[in-house]
Amino acid sequence: MKLSRRAFIVIIPVLAVGYAIGLFSVYLEQRDRLLRSEQTGIDNALTILVAELDGYAHFQEVFVTSLKKSDPLKTFLVEQDASYRAFTLGTSIETSLREVEQFHSDYLTLALLDSTGELLYYLENSGDPFSSVSDRALVAASNQLHSGESAGWALWQSDEGNYRLAFMSLIDAETLLTPKKASRRESVLVVQSVVEPSSFQRQAEAVQARYDATLTFSRAETGFENPEKGKGAGEFQLRASRASSTGLQWQLVASQAYIEKRLVSIKRPLALSLVGLVLFSGFTILLLIRRYITGPIAELDQNLENVIEGRETTIRADESAQDEIAHIARMFRKLYGELSLAYAHSKAMAETDQLTRLHNLTYLNHHGQAMMNAAQAQGLSLGLMYVDLDNFKFVNDRFGHDTGDELLVSLAKSFQALLERYRGQTPLAPILFRIAGDEFGIMMAQSAVEPDACHKLATEIVSLFSTGYRLGKTLLPISASIGIAECPADGVQLTQLMSCADSAMYQAKSLGKNQLAHFSRDIAAKANRERDIEHALKAVDCDTEFFLVFMPIIAVATGTANAVEVLLRWNSSRLGPVGPAEFVPIAEATGLFEKIDRWVVSESLRLYRNVSAELGDDVKLSINLSSAQLCNKDLAEQIILSARQYDVEPAMIQLEMTETIGIDFSDQMQHTLQTLRTAGFGVAIDDFGAGYTSLAQLVEYPVDVVKLDRLFITRMMDAGKSSMLPPLIDLCHLQNIEVTAEGVENEAQLRMLIDSGCDALQGYYFGQPVPLSRLQAASEQWRIKAAGARRLNLPGKGAQRL
């Protein structure tokens, strides 16, 4: 992290905290002032509202009182003619109602009820011609009668949400006076006036909208909840309470959202002020720091970087300056001089092979790509040779590592001597380097005069080993396999060219000892194919892409197919059908076979019941395992558990240990095989004669069956060495090991193997591998071929041996 950025990270938070504390105190003061102002406003708003309602109440009280004293009401109470008295009272009321306009009400009613609550008279000043007294009004009148009070108020909201204020006053129909409180005479009547306080309604809605508030009322004696109840920490409440002349207590409570909105009007400018102050102060301080501290340091840093990258040759330092940065610059200049010498020495050591004193792979990685780019810029082709010694391990094991080291040093000198003839042909000097172990490399540009110089040099190197290689007085049986790749034909990147040369070298090895090979499309296609197979194996879905086929194993003594070998087939979702000869070696070499082995074992055991249903209950199943898996300490337990899971007797299963890779017979392998045999499984060595199993190991391995490889049998017959088979088979029989011959393809092989004493036979002569769905049909062909083998065995040596 740069010093300027570090200063920014340190200074800005300090400034932010300091300004935040100061502005927070300002915020607290402004908040309290705002809340006091808002509280005053809400108090005034409620006072005005209550005063407006009290005006309506006063009107109703005057209206009803004057009506009680009026002659029309007296006439109404004493007159017997209902029509006349209603007309007289109605005319008087209409005159009084003209005064309502000054109170802005569209709704006013007058009702007269007797002591039982029965409506005697009702008049409504509204736009509804079918209006009638509301239930709430009747309830209020009834409550007034029962309360014993001579007058009273009631307030409610209609279905439309409008407030309605009712004033009720009692009158004695006989005396036309207000009855006393204790009076309960039947002559008591209720005069009720109900008004909608329209102006109050509008003002209430405006106030509630202004403060996003809730307006409530209750009887004075009931009151409201404690204002602090339900109030969270840090919350403020704006509320006002007022009592009206109607005996009601009014409360106006502003919402928390309104309070927060008002507080935001304070917070936002303060927050912007905080940001502005922090940024202004911070950048001012940083500019000063940059001018006098980080600027000179950055200058020195850039100078050092330029020197290291080669853009400058020396570190600048002011000898006269006495400040700390100048002192550091002088110390750096001195230190750099010492480090330059040490770096040059260590770089040379890092890029040099300590044994042969040649360049190493590190040197090539540092300079190889630059040489390739230069060759392309000059229009030259460039060749890269990958040289791998054959039988070098033998020399190390036979003559010792000191001799191996002497051989490598001698070869380095020989390669240098051969390379000298090609120096100077191009402006680009060739590079001879040691890759690792017994591997060397040569990168050289090829001129138009000698465009095949790389091939000629490789031929000369191969010629060094035409009769072995003489080291002192000893002729060592080594040779070289050389792969050649060219730029730009085979690649323009160093890693790509190395990979191509490496692939060509393996192609040379496959041709035999002491060969060279140029990288080609065929080699590239093979390498790409192997890479595609490896990638497909890593992502394979075993259950959908793999499937099993079954091949008969014929017992010579009985002439029956008493066992079948389970073989794996792969129909890749990416590549289509891929043969086992392709994917099995790749899976084993890349460590991917463990997953495949587990699937094969599990699936074979799962299908065993289906196989025995087709071929008989005594049929055995022979399952292939890679020898590498025998080092897995969990292998035996996994196989035993799978057999239990599918209820398969271990005695009906034979496990074949493939021999495609060389593996030392370890204690773990010995333990795994013994565990499996103890559990009842049979164990066989597969492909004997084609892999790495020696006769000594054959005696050592705890196995039940040896399976002779097809190519081994073919070589025995072609070279006329079939007489070697009986002793080998006899050796196995002496160890109580049965022998199965693989790859039986014709009757001549069949006769030879039966005469040699083989216990079982297997091959296309009897039948090709088939899937489970075709097992029953194929078994008929197997029986016919097996019967023929039985007839051949009757008079021969095989029968005598058995």
3 state DSSP class of 256: helix
Torsion of Cα atoms, 629 then 635 then 638 then 643, to 10°: 80
Q: Which residues are catalytic?
A: 742
The span from the CA of 516 to the CA of 524, in Å, is 16
The span from the CA of 381 to the CA of 486, in Å, is 7
- Calculate the alpha carbon distances from 152 to 188, 245, 425, 661 in Å: 15, 11, 126, 111
> If you ran DSSP here, which 8-state letter would residue 316 be given?
-
The span from the CA of 241 to the CA of 249, in Å, is 7
The span from the CA of 797 to the CA of 802, in Å, is 9
Torsion of Cα atoms, 641 then 643 then 646 then 649, to 10°: -140
Residue 176 token pair: 């036309």
Residue 651 contacts by C-beta under 8 Å, 6 or more apart in sequence? Answer: 680, 681, 682
Residue 366 token pair: 């540092």
3 state DSSP class of 670: helix
Angle at CA of residue 708, ends 702 and 713, nearest 5°: 160
DSSP H helices, 421-520, are 453-463, 494-511
CB neighbour burial string for 532-544, b if at least 16 within 10 angstroms, e if fewer: ebeebbeebebee
User: Which pairs with CB-CB distance under 8 Å and at least 24 residues apart come from 506-509?
Assistant: 506/481, 507/483, 508/481, 508/482, 508/483, 509/388, 509/390, 509/481
Residue whose C-alpha is closest to residue 60's, from 103, 95, 92, 91: 103
Beta strands at 576-578 and 439-446: parallel, antiparallel or unpaired? unpaired
Cβ pair 508, 517 in contact under 8 A: yes
Cβ pair 647, 666 in contact under 8 A: no
